[in-house]
């Protein structure tokens, strides 16, 4: 495609902001805040957006670390973009060529793995360039930029969707860093991500003395009296039972997973009292909602059995219920044209030197071309679709997991991937996980991805704003696939019927008289 004057203006704006975008990416990477606790990251985005002239609603959808920013250049279509900024516990890594945590922290603190730090700033860089081009070229319409916390537990988008934040948009553009073929430097075509449920099972032991009949202890509730095993035992029974039944929870077809994380355990100090509270989180990633319901029914039965055996009562609290994605070929083709115009990211000599330093530090022979070749190649969306489907049964319509799928039911949505830096591995060897995390934080290795994604987002958004036939084609396909648009006969409504799950004991940074630290103190011996 030949860029319009407004599109060329946006490309120049992104290039002019290169240093800012690099510094901003490093800032969010350095915060490394995890799901539902992204306080500094959210505050940074809100301040930046207001300084750029956006009207910002803080705490959108009842989520303290979410936001919704709007800007208008008069009546017209509104395009949606977004930022993610949550990191992952236990992945604290400095922007360094050797394994080391960020200053003052231990390895168990949060760190960016995908990295969402670059994802969000690519979106912001595009947003500011689109706004500048709309002003300079008098393009009517508006922009909506949502802050999406807790993507790692698929948290905010189902809530935003149910609350109407994506309704009324002409289109939504969704970008994610990626490196695994075939979803590298391409656009999703027909097979979009699947459904996902996440929940916390909470066990409470309120009356341990009632677990069995009176055992004749001379002093009621004495330390030697019989009493319920308690919440810790309920949690461990639930954990082990669900692992042993995992093979039977779903048919052996399609990509699916059930993973767990212990949020809370203990609560009884060192005395021989039963624990009164324990919490276990599950994440279910499956192709269909029916499969998610099936697994949930099994987990509910396991929780009930574990509670009965340990003298507890149990509760299930939703963290996420998200829908599988809806394809839109018209907008996917439009974004693919923008990708072909921009090209794939390219890593220069300074990035190569960083990669070679990492390889040498790991005892490898540094490679002349250390980055995976496919990182700098585009792959046609339909070719990528064909490769993806080789390993899927014909009946499976969705694969892998991400909550952008919520947006696809409210506006024509394109999902595309730009390569994040990844290194070639010598035969028979593998890189430790910290290497990918570090490459996502070192400016010379992550900036090419951020710049490339920002350009693709800007070109695509401006094409949608300026080209009414293309915009109408995407909307016509959305209406057709949903059987009439939002509320249509083939439309899947939001599944979110729960409040934002913000009050659980999610891992977070804390400040005490000892200073600022992770909730697992880095000063502990062996930390």
Q: Which of 482, 497, 516 is the last residue of a domain?
A: 482
Angle at 322 between CA 316 and CA 325, to 5 degrees: 160
- In terms of domains, do 42 and 157 share one? yes
Q: What is the 8-class DSSP label of residue 89?
A: T
Domain ends where: 307, 323, 339?
323
Statement to judge: residues 314 and 348 lie in one domain: no
CATH of the domain at 460: 3.40.630.10
Same-domain check for residues 364 and 312: no
Q: How many domains does the chain have?
A: 2
- In this structure, are residues 435 and 423 in contact, taking their beta carbons and an 8 Å threshold? yes
Asked whether residue 478 is assigned to any structural domain, the reply reads yes
In a domain, 508, yes or no: no
In a domain? residue 253: yes
Both 252 and 332 in a single domain? Answer: no
Angle between helices 116-136 and 18-31 (to 10 degrees): 150
Q: Given this model, what pLDDT does residue 221 score? A: 56
- 370 with 476, same domain: the answer is yes
145 vs 127: CA distance, rounded Å:
8
> Which pLDDT belongs to residue 526?
58
Q: Which of 146, 152, 181, 179 is nearest to 165 (CA)?
A: 146
Helices (H), 78-230: 116-136, 156-162
Question: In this predicted structure, what is the pLDDT of residue 222?
Answer: 56
Tell me the HSE value of 56 on the side-chain side, using a 13 A CA sphere.
21
In a domain, 239, yes or no: yes
Are 111 and 46 in the same domain?
A: yes
Q: Which two tokens stand for residue 419?
A: 């390569």
In this structure, are 27 and 121 located in the same domain?
A: yes
CATH number for the domain spanning 285: value is 3.30.70.360
**Closest by CA position to 268, among listed 221, 231, 236, 240:** 231
- The verdict on 332 and 427 lying in the same domain is yes
First-to-last C-alpha distance (Å) of the chain: 53
Cα 169 from Cα 465, distance rounded (Å): 12
Contacts of 427 (CB under 8 A, 6+ apart): none
241 and 338 co-located in one domain: no
Domain closes at, from 274, 298, 323: 323
Question: How far is residue 156's CA from residue 121's CA, in Å, rounded to a whole number?
Answer: 18
* In 32-114, alpha helices (H): 39-51
Report which DSSP code applies to 250.
Answer: S
In a domain, 246, yes or no: yes
Rounded Cα distance between 220 and 234, Å, is: 24
User: 333 and 319 in one domain?
Assistant: no
Give a yes or no: residue 518 inside a domain: no
- Report pLDDT for 198: 97
Note the pTM of the prediction, 2 decimals: 0.94
Place of tokens 């394109």: 414
Domain that holds residue 273: 196-323
Residues 313 and 330 in one domain: no
Q: What 3-state DSSP class applies to 243? A: helix
Q: Residue 257 pairs with which residues in a beta bridge? A: 285
Taking only the tens of pLDDT, the chain with its 527 residues reads 799 999 999 999 999 999 999 999 999 999 999 999 999 999 999 999 999 999 999 999 999 999 999 999 999 999 999 999 999 999 999 999 999 999 999 999 999 999 999 999 999 999 999 999 999 999 999 999 999 999 999 999 999 999 999 999 999 999 999 888 899 999 999 999 999 999 999 999 988 888 875 555 555 555 555 678 899 999 999 999 998 887 777 665 667 888 999 988 776 656 777 888 999 999 999 999 999 999 999 999 999 999 999 999 999 999 999 999 999 999 999 999 999 999 999 999 999 999 999 999 999 999 999 999 999 999 999 999 999 999 888 889 998 889 999 999 999 999 999 999 999 999 888 999 999 999 999 999 999 999 999 999 999 999 999 999 999 999 999 999 999 999 999 999 999 999 999 999 999 999 989 888 998 888 666 55
Is the previous residue joined to 146 through a cis bond, with omega within 30 degrees of 0?
Answer: no
Assess if residue 495 is contained within a domain. no
* Residue 325: how many other CB atoms lie within 10 Å: 28
Residues 159 and 212 in one domain: no
- Does 19 fall in a domain? yes
Residue 148: the pLDDT is 98
Question: Tokens at residue 291, please?
Answer: 């499969």
What is the rounded distance in angstroms from the CA atom of residue 6 to the CA atom of residue 29? 31
Q: What are phi and psi of 344, to 5 degrees?
A: -80, 160
């Amino acid at each position: 495609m030949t860029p319009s004057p407004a599109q060329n203006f946006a490309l120049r704006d992104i290039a002019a902001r290169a240093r800012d975008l690099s510094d901003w990416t490093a800032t969010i990477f350095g915060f490394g805040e995890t799901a539902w606790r992204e306080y500094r990251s959210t505050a940074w985005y809100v301040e930046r957006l207001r300084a750029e002239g956006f009207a910002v609603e803080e705490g959108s959808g009842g989520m303290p670390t979410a936001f919704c920013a709007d800007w208008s250049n008069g009546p017209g279509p509104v395009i949606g973009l977004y930022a993610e900024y949550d990191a992952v516990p236990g992945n604290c890594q400095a922007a360094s060529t050797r394994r080391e945590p960020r200053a003052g922290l231990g390895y168990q603190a949060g760190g960016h793995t995908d990295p969402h730090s670059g994802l969000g700033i690519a979106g912001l860089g595009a947003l500011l360039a689109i706004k500048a081009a709309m002003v300079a070229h008098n393009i009517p319409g508006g922009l909506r930029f949502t802050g999406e916390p807790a993507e790692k537990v698929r948290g905010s988008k189902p809530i935003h969707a149910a609350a109407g934040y994506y309704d009324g948009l002409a289109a939504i553009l969704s970008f994610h860093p990626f490196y695994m073929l075939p979803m590298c430097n391409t656009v999703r075509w027909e097979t979009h991500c699947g459904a996902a449920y996440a929940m916390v099972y909470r066990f409470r032991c309120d009356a341990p003395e009632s677990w069995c009949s009176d055992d004749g202890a001379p002093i009621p509730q004495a330390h030697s009296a019989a009493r319920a095993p308690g919440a810790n035992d309920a949690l461990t029974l639930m954990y082990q039972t669900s692992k042993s039944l995992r093979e039977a929870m779903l048919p052996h077809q399609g990509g699916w997973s059930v993973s767990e994380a212990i949020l809370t355990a203990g609560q009884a100090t060192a005395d021989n009292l039963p624990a009164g509270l324990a919490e276990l989180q599950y994440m279910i990633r499956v192709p269909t909602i029916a499969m998610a319901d099936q697994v949930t029914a099994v987990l509910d039965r396991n929780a009930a059995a574990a509670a009965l055996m340990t003298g507890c009562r149990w509760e299930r609290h939703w963290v996420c219920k998200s829908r599988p994605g809806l394809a839109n070929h018209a907008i996917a083709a439009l974004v693919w044209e923008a990708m072909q115009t921009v090209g794939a990211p390219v890593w220069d000599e300074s990035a190569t030197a960083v990669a070679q330093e990492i390889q040498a530090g790991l005892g490898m022979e540094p490679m002349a071309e250390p980055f995976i070749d496919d990182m700098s190649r585009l792959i046609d969306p339909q070719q990528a679709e064909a490769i993806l489907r080789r390993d899927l049964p014909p009946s499976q319509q969705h694969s892998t997991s991400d909550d952008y799928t919520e947006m696809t039911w409210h506006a024509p949505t394109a999902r595309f991937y730009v390569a994040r830096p990844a290194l070639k591995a010598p035969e028979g060897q593998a890189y430790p996980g910290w290497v990918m995390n570090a490459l996502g934080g070192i400016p010379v290795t992550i900036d090419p991805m951020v710049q490339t994604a920002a350009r693709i987002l800007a070109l695509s958004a401006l094409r949608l704003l300026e080209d009414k036939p293309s915009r109408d084609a995407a909307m016509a396909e959305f209406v057709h696939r949903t059987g009439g648009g939002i509320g249509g006969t083939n439309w899947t409504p939001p599944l979110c019927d729960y409040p934002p799950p913000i009050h659980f004991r999610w891992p977070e940074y804390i400040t005490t008289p000892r200073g600022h630290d992770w909730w697992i103190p880095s000063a502990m011996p062996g930390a």
